[in-house]
Structure 1
Amino acid sequence: MTLEFLLRLLVAFSCGVAIGIERQMRQRTAGLRTITLVASGACLFVTLGVLTGNGTAGVTQIAAYVVSGVGFLGGGVIMREKGSVQGINTAATLWCSAAVGVLSGSGHFGPALAGTCVVLLTNTVLREVSQLINATPVSNADLIRAYVLSVVCRDDDEIHIRTALSNAMSSTPLSFQSLTSEDVADQPGRILVTATLKLHPKDQPKLEWMASRISMEKSVSSVSWIAQEAEPTPE
């Protein structure tokens, strides 16, 4: 029994090290030591059920507690930073490492090794695939984005600038939403003309061309535009 226990622990340790090295190389929150401890700890807990002679039911119950405990541990590595959620992949890796440890502790060495390979392939090969997908031109995405173009000009030329914007949007063409004007508080004699439009992100160069064209007007002192949140195109 001692030799079998050591074998199970060694398999869990080895699988944890294999997964942990990949995480450590990428400088993740949960690295080599954390992943190895999770896999080895899960193995120890499940082996406890085997050693106490509680049978399959006891091992299954302990494994369930391991899953919930690792879920709590995984929640600790997930954080929100600058509007984005970080650490979900690391938490999932911890969860899978615990599963590998449970399989090792139960004596299922083949599935444990297979699980380790799946985790490593997911964090290496599929990582490259996901980066390729993210690098795909946004023209392949079904999105519409709202843009706000702001032009500051002399108040005497307000009508001319509004006409130029309308003509540019009609000739591009862009989805024209609104065109408003207001006085610039800290710049007497200046008018802020704001155009709101919606277009596919692949058409953003057209907006840039229009902004560049308007900026060449003598009465224009500044031109700027901002992109708002993208939204799916209607079905």
Structure 2
Amino acid sequence: MLTFLPSPLPESLNSAISLIVAFTLGTLIGAERQYRQRTAGLRTNVLVAVGAAAFVDLGMRLEGSRGAVSTVAYVISGVGFLGAGVIMKEGMNVRGLNTAATLWCSAAVGAFAGADLPLEAVFVTAAVLAGNTLLRPLVNAINRAPIDESASEATYEVQVTTSPEGAGPARDLLVERLEAASYPVGGIEVVERGDDAVEVVATLVATAVAAAELDAVTNELTRLPGIRHATWSVQTAD
């Protein structure tokens, strides 16, 4: 009597469907990123989604739902390293956070597809596209609104320019005047500005300040001996 082994075709077909769903939804996310000329565009988002789907599907094929759960954990950490590669820090500015977050979401879409949850993958894709497109007018409106220094969370720096030999006294004067104005200094550094000038930069601990108070401090510092110039700047939190 002949016995036939069960055909692997249903599982293979299921894997193919998962990869197709991941490819299609990753294409939707990547197309929007490519249109915006982001660092991680169409191909990157598709590959992240397909890769996540493939790994999760493989985990399910080998060990069932337990294998899928453990694989998802590794996918999350792996995509985290990939996202870190597109984040760049330029001075006080950080770029690429939204691109990294989109890659992370593409991996989530792929994981849902690989776990045989295509409808949930579609929901996540819709949410990602809405976040990257529908929220843009709101973001632009908020960015165009006047900044209220007393209410915004930001990093404030006070800079004074002096001679190299005057850096020490200028540092002490800067800390003294800021603390007298109830603005404790969280950090201070000296930056060379040529052969005959240095800039002493103090970073404030406070996340909200009054612009008039900092103007008064810098005006007072400018009038002190040895201080060539004093100013302050603000960088909004990312």
Give the TM-score range, shorter chain: 0.5 to 0.7
The Cα shift of 1:114 comes to 0.2
Aligned equivalent of 1:228: 233
Output the CA distance in 1 between the equivalents of 2:226 and 2:55: 71
Aligned equivalent of 1:55: 64
Give the AA of the match of 1:37: L
Match of 2:79 among 50, 70, 80: 70
Output the CA distance in 2 between the equivalents of 1:146 and 1:33: 41
Give the AA of the match of 1:40: V
The Cα shift of 1:84 comes to 0.8
The Cα shift of 1:127 comes to 2.3
Output the CA distance in 1 between the equivalents of 2:226 and 2:23: 70
Aligned equivalent of 2:48: 38
Which range is displaced more, 32-41 or 4-13? 4-13
Query: Which of structures 1 and 2 has the bigger CA Rg?
Result: 1
For residues 77-103 of structure 1, what are the alpha-carbon distances to aligned partners after superposition, in whole Å with 9 as ceiling and x for unaligned?
111124311111111111110010000
Q: Counterparts in 2 of 1:1-235, with a 5 A limit?
A: 1=10, 2-52=12-62, 54-139=63-148, 142=151, 176-177=216-217, 178=220, 180=223, 226-229=231-234
Aligned equivalent of 2:208: none
Give the AA of the match of 2:14: E
CA gap of 1:11–1:183, structure 2 versus 1, over 3 A, is closer
Output the CA distance in 2 between the equivalents of 1:76 and 1:183: 44
Output the CA distance in 1 between the equivalents of 2:59 and 2:32: 30
Aligned equivalent of 1:220: none
CA gap of 1:138–1:9, structure 2 versus 1, over 3 A, is same
Give the AA of the match of 2:60: V
Output the CA distance in 2 between the equivalents of 1:134 and 1:99: 29
Give TM-score scaled by structure 1 length: 0.63
Output the CA distance in 1 between the equivalents of 2:235 and 2:81: 34
Identity %: 44
Aligned-residue CA RMSD (Å): 3.0
Q: Which residues of structure 1 form unaligned runs of 5+?
A: 149-173, 185-191, 197-225
SS of residue in 1 equivalent to 2:59 = helix
Aligned equivalent of 1:170: none
CA gap of 1:7–1:82, structure 2 versus 1, over 3 A, is same
CA gap of 1:141–1:122, structure 2 versus 1, over 3 A, is farther
CA gap of 1:44–1:142, structure 2 versus 1, over 3 A, is same
Aligned equivalent of 2:190: none
Aligned length: 169
Output the CA distance in 1 between the equivalents of 2:233 and 2:100: 31
SS of residue in 2 equivalent to 1:138 = coil
Output the CA distance in 2 between the equivalents of 1:27 and 1:3: 35
Output the CA distance in 2 between the equivalents of 1:38 and 1:183: 57
Q: Which residues of structure 2 form unaligned runs of 5+?
A: 1-9, 160-211
Give the AA of the match of 1:15: L
Aligned equivalent of 2:209: none
The Cα shift of 1:131 comes to 1.6
Output the CA distance in 2 between the equivalents of 1:136 and 1:183: 39
